[in-house]
Structure 1
Amino acid sequence: MSTFDHKSLIQNLNENLASFRKAQPEAMAGFGALAKAAMADGAISARHKELMALAIGITQRCSGCIGFHVKALHRLGCTRAEFEEMLAVCVYMGGGPALMYAAEALAAWEKLAPTPV
C-alpha cells in the first residue's frame, strides 16, 4: 500500500502556490476560469470530466493531479466501480507506469474518502 500522503500534498501545493497567485493574479485567474468552464456540467457531466482529468493525471504521472481529482470525484459522488473502470483504461493506455500510478490513485481514493458522519 502506498504511503504517499495526498492530503498533505494538496495542502502543500496550495500553500506553495499562494505567492504565485499573488505575483501572477491574471494568469492564475485565467487558469481558474478555464478550469471552471472546462469542468462544468454540459453534454458531459462534471463527474465524467473529473474521471477524464484523473486519467490524464495518472498517465502523465502527476501526483498532485491524482490528489485534487480524487478529492473532486468523492465530492461529485463517483462510485468505486466507476473509478476502477477508469483505472483499467489508464493501465490499458499507459502500461506499467500507469499501473503504478493507478495503485497510488487507489490509495488516494481510500485516504481522501469523506469520513462518515
Structure 2
Amino acid sequence: MNDLTEKKIQQSIEDRKKTHLTFLENVKTYRPFLEVEEKAFRNGALTKKTKELMALSISIVTKCEPCMEWHLDQALQQGAADEEIYETIDVAIEMGGGQAGAYARFVLKAMEYFKQKKG
C-alpha cells in the first residue's frame, strides 16, 4: 500500500473521531442518527456482520470512501473473512457496474491497512 492511501485512511479515521463530539454538541440530527444506526445494525434475523457487509456494498455503489472504511472495519471486527469481503464487492459491482469496481479498489487497500494494523 502506498503512503497516500494509508494517509487517506488514517485521515478518515481521525476526522471521524475529531468531529464526533462537535457533532454531538451541535448537530441536532447526529445523535438520533447514531440511535438509528445502533438499532439498524443490531443482531436480528440478520447478523451485525451481514448488515455491515450490506452497508459496505452500498458504500461502494454510492462512492463514499469514509463509509467504505468504516463499514469494512466494522465487518472485519465482526469476523468477516476475505471471501465475504470479495463477495460483497461482487454484489457492489453487479449493482454499480464499472464505477463500483473502481471504488472497490479502495476497499482492498483499506482491507490491507486494517490487516497491517492488526498484525
Q: Which has the higher contact order (CA 8 A, sep 6+)?
A: 1
- Do residues 100 (structure 1) and 116 (structure 2) align? no
Q: Provide the residue aligned with 2:86 in structure 1.
A: 84
1:65 aligned onto 2:51: no
Matched, 1:74 2:79: no
- Where structure 1 has 5 or more consecutive residues not aligned to the other structure, the ranges are none
Q: CA deviation at 1:8?
A: 2.3
Contact preservation (8 Å) 1:7, 1:112? no
5 Å matches for 1:1-117? 3-4=4-5, 5-24=8-27, 26-113=28-115, 114-116=117-119
| 1:7–1:67 CA contact under 8 A, matched in 2 | no
CA RMSD, Structure 1 to Structure 2 (Å): 1.6
Cα distance in 2 between the residues matched to 1:87 and 1:53: 11
Greater per-residue helix proportion? 2
Deviations 1:61-84 (A, max 9, x none): 001101111110111000000100
How many percent of aligned residue pairs carry the same amino acid? Answer: 28
TM-score, normalized by length of structure 2?
Answer: 0.87
CA distance in 2 between counterparts of 1:84 and 1:32 reads 28
Runs of 4+ in 1 over 3 A off after TM superposition: none
Aligned length: 115
